[in-house]
């Protein structure tokens, strides 16, 4: 028999299995989970906060299950506008625009601010959503080494395009490191470029009261700075947003395809995100609590001093990273395992994520498990 047109999938799946790169879904059940979660991105512990849940329930009852259309047709509500106004004010920007996800926010803003005849300079460690946005932009794209402002300045100085956009994560999603935003902005300003920082892992963790790394560095609200955020990490909900000067937001409404042609964010996550933002504004100590917990986890794992909620423990190849994550789960601690293509080859790792509100008993349990498992795995790697 002639092989079917999708028979190549079997070969690809086999190769991924042999390389330790096969992914599988592991659905969680509802209710109390006996496993201590150090893998999710609920940095402030707000996903199950009663006030945040109530915000979603109230929005669901008031507006229904779905937004009913794109934001430009019937998908915009006064609730969306409340969230946009308060989010922009909290983070220090003129205005904001809510998208259905952080991914679509990045797609929308990068493509709308670049296009043919523009240059996009992207950090080599940019999140996949920024990478895909660059690919879709139809601009000339230059990828520069990670956290290298001099390389950014060189790329900008050599450009022939009239417009330029520099994109970076403010906080690395896999390494948890901080982008040199001040130096990057200096290069942008010297060469007439716009700086776009993805604050997905900065909001709620860095900056005064969790306002983000742009606020911390005094760049929030600058006329040549734009930010993206996700509502699904520190705010414990779903969705994303672009924040920036009012003309940028107006331009996105006119031109961002992932905004114009996508159904608006549903009422329930919109209400939950707004409630979470208000909790964060009223309880600014949560951001510091995240970094305290991250420090405890890093100490137990033998990692460096963390500067964000993300604590990476690099183990090299996929096999030891997978084994370590599985061993931790058997002992009641869920930890993320990042392998290529999420991280470069040879840097497979455990990715610990801190969460505000963990008790001393939970941290002690996590520390014991981490020390035991990592000692065994590292011994195996050395052998």
Q: What domains, with CATH codes, occur in the chain? A: 50-282 (3.40.640.10), 284-382 (3.90.1150.10)
- Looking up tokens 């470029």 gives 193
pLDDT at res. 34: 87
Cβ atoms 240, 234 nearer than 8 A: no
Q: Mean pLDDT in runs of 10 for the chain (383 residues)?
A: 85 91 85 87 97 98 97 98 98 98 98 98 97 98 98 98 98 97 98 98 98 98 98 98 98 98 98 98 97 97 95 95 95 95 94 96 97 87 55
pLDDT at res. 2: 67
pLDDT at res. 383: 47
Cβ atoms 381, 316 nearer than 8 A: yes
Backbone angles phi, psi at 350, to 5 degrees: -85, 140
Kindly report the number of other CB atoms within 10 A of residue 224's CB atom: 15
pLDDT at res. 24: 87
Instruction: Give the C-alpha separation, 17 to 22, whole Å.
Output: 5
**Partners of 198 in the beta sheet?**
169, 228
Cβ atoms 286, 204 nearer than 8 A: yes
Backbone angles phi, psi at 324, to 5 degrees: -65, -45
Cβ atoms 208, 215 nearer than 8 A: yes
Give the strand pairing for 348-353 and 95-99: unpaired
**What secondary structure does DSSP assign to 198-241, as a single string?**
E-TTTTTTSSGGG--HHHHTT-TT-TTEEEEEESSSTT-S--EE
Q: Where are the alpha helices (DSSP H) in 145-304?
A: 149-157, 181-190, 213-216, 246-255, 257-260, 267-282, 285-301
Instruction: Give the C-alpha separation, 279 to 25, whole Å.
Output: 32
Residue of 219, 171, 173, 202 lying closest to 44 (CA atoms): 202
Kindly report the number of other CB atoms within 10 A of residue 382's CB atom: 6
């Amino acid at each position: 028999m002639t092989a079917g047109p999708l028979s190549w999938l079997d070969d690809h799946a086999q190769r991924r299995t042999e390389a330790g790169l096969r992914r599988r879904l592991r659905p969680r059940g509802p209710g109390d989970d006996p496993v201590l979660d150090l893998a999710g991105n609920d940095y402030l512990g707000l996903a199950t906060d009663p006030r945040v849940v109530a915000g979603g329930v109230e929005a669901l009852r008031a507006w229904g299950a779905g937004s009913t259309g794109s934001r430009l047709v019937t998908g915009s509500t006064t609730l969306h506008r409340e969230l946009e106004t308060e989010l922009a004010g909290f983070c220090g920007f003129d205005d904001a625009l809510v998208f259905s996800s952080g991914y679509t926010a990045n797609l929308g803003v990068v493509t709308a601010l670049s296009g043919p005849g523009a240059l996009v300079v992207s950090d080599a460690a940019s999140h996949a959503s920024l990478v895909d946005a660059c690919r879709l932009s139809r601009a000339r794209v230059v990828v520069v080494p990670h956290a290298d402002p001099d390389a950014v300045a060189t790329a900008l100085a050599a450009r022939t395009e009239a417009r330029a956009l520099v994109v970076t994560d403010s906080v690395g999603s896999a390494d948890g490191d901080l982008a040199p935003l001040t130096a990057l902005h200096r290069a942008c300003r010297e060469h007439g470029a716009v700086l776009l920082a993805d604050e997905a892992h900065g909001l709620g963790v860095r900056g005064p009261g969790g306002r983000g790394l742009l606020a911390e560095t005094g760049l929030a609200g600058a006329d040549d700075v734009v930010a993206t955020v996700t509502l699904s990490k520190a705010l414990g909900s779903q969705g994303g947003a672009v924040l920036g000067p009012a003309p940028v937001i107006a331009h996105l409404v006119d031109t961002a395809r992932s905004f114009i042609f996508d159904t608006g964010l549903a009422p329930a996550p919109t209400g939950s995100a707004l409630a979470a933002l208000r909790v964060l504004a009223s309880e600014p100590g949560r951001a510091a609590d995240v970094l305290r917990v991250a420090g405890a986890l890093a100490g137990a794992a033998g990692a460096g001093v963390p500067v964000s909620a993300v604590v990476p423990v690099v183990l090299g190849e996929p096999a030891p990273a997978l084994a370590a994550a599985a061993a931790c789960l058997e002992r009641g601690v869920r930890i993320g395992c990042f392998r290529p293509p999420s991280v470069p080859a040879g840097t497979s790792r455990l990715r610990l994520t801190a969460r505000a509100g963990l008790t001393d008993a939970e941290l002690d349990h996590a520390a014991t498990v981490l020390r035991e498992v990592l000692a065994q795995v590292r011994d195996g790697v050395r052998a």
